[in-house]
Amino acid sequence: MAKDALGRRVDYLRISVTDRCNLRCVYCMPAEGVVWRPHAEILNSEEIAHFAALAAEEGIGRIRLTGGEPLVRGSILDLIRRLREIRGIEAIALTTNGTLLPKFALALRGAGLQRVNISLDSLDAEEYARITRGGNLGHALAGIDAALDAGFDPVKVNVVVVRSLGQNLGGFARMTLDRPLHVRFIEFMPVGVIPEADEHPSCSVTSWSRDDVVPADEILATIAAWGVGKGVGGLLPATAGEAPGGWGPARYYRFADAPGTIGVISPLSEHFCAECSRLRLTADGRLRPCLFSDLEFDVRDPLRAGDDERVRALIAEALRQKPESHAERIGTMRHMSQIGG
Ligand code: SAM
């Protein structure tokens, strides 16, 4: 079992399979997009799978594929099939904006994907198009249907709440009433935003502000008030059996008799660094021990050189240097889409 220097168990690897995306969410990417890394700089499926196998040897056996948008990567099915073959990999999950799930859901399931999280920040078509800079809400909703129809369990819907976007959260609560959907509200995080943008011209997103963070307790109060207003009652804590099994730090609630649940993830108002079990691999082969820290280890070169010992040593070093906490840290050099959200 992998442990870091503070004794935290680390068994979860988030792999960004591409820095490209078919949406441009306002808080995630600049309007003009980011400069894509050339293909030669991006790890191929064989390289990713080989890294995952070395990590699995250390006991890091839960994998989440993310991006960018993982479903724009042509070889995503091949990658999942490769990962399924690796001894020590216990489960493979995917985070997606859902718009390509109508095309891919069944094939993903057939390839061995087990869990899917769908990111969706608005249920209003115009607002969705505005937030995603041109996305089609119908495609994302069809993606949710496709994920349920394909038999993924659980299907989670992730909503990043940004105060100045003024999202209507009630519609998301309603989604949990008649289908087994697990809606998780996530606090807006200061990733890809740095106060000294001038010193780091590669980072152009400067829109994060503390005022835009809606704390989890406020989100829960809004949802509970919606339930009371609609006559479905207040929020009840979800029992272990009702909450979807998770790899992360969400707290779950539900409305009486609802098949779905409401979760909150509060990286800012309640740090969960003490239980952090993650490492991240960027699409260009950098191993990151913390989302909020720019500390990275280049595993691409040793992977390409076939130097497994060096890769193992870098995994050990990333564990050793995993920061204790992101504390009040604001900003990272890379955008979320480049790190893998
Ligand atoms: N394209 C995929 C998707 O939409 O889920 C995967 C990558 S996306 C970067 C992963 C998640 O990160 C999305 O749910 C997105 O909303 C979230 N995200 C991006 N920037 C964020 C921020 N500053 N704070 C919180 N979540 C953020």
Residue nearest to atom 12 of ligand 1 (CA): 341
The CA distances from residue 295 to 68, 177, 190, 288, in Å, are 20, 42, 16, 6
CA 226/CA 232 separation, integer angstroms = 9
Residue of 14, 34, 160, 162 best suited for mutating to test ligand 1, as the one with most atoms within 8 Å of CB? 160
Q: Tokens 């740090």 — which residue? A: 271
The CA distances from residue 19 to 140, 215, 320, in Å, are 20, 29, 27
Locate 170 and state its tokens.
């009630």
Helix (H, G, I), strand (E, B) or coil at 186: strand
Q: Which atom of ligand 1 is nearest to the CA of 97?
A: 4
H-assigned helices in 58-136: 76-84, 101-111, 125-132
**pLDDT given at position 196:** 45
**pLDDT given at position 202:** 37
Q: Which atom of ligand 1 is nearest to the CA of 23?
A: 1
Helix (H, G, I), strand (E, B) or coil at 153: coil
Burial of 204 (0-12, 13-18, 19+ CB in 10 A): middle
Residue nearest to atom 1 of ligand 1 (CA): 69
Distance 227 CA to ligand 1 centre (A): 27
Distance 40 CA to ligand 1 centre (A): 25
CA 232/CA 145 separation, integer angstroms = 24
CA 311/CA 114 separation, integer angstroms = 27
Residue nearest to atom 13 of ligand 1 (CA): 119
**pLDDT given at position 197:** 42
H-assigned helices in the chain: 45-57, 76-84, 101-111, 125-132, 137-149, 170-178, 216-229, 300-304, 308-320, 336-339
pTM, two decimal places: 0.94
Locate 155 and state its tokens.
């299907």
Q: Which atom of ligand 1 is nearest to the CA of 192?
A: 23
Residue of 15, 28, 94 best suited for mutating to test ligand 1, as the one with most atoms within 8 Å of CB? 28
**pLDDT given at position 328:** 67
List per-residue pLDDT tens for the chain, 341 residues long.
899 999 999 999 999 999 999 999 988 887 777 788 889 999 999 999 999 999 999 999 999 999 999 999 999 999 999 999 999 999 999 999 999 999 999 999 999 999 999 999 999 999 999 999 999 999 999 999 999 999 999 999 999 999 988 999 999 999 999 999 999 999 998 887 544 444 433 333 346 788 889 999 999 999 999 999 999 999 999 998 889 987 778 999 999 999 999 999 998 888 889 999 999 999 999 999 999 899 999 999 999 999 999 999 999 999 999 999 986 667 788 878 778 77
CA 58/CA 313 separation, integer angstroms = 11
Residue of 172, 186, 209, 292 best suited for mutating to test ligand 1, as the one with most atoms within 8 Å of CB? 186
CA 20/CA 33 separation, integer angstroms = 9
CA 281/CA 52 separation, integer angstroms = 10
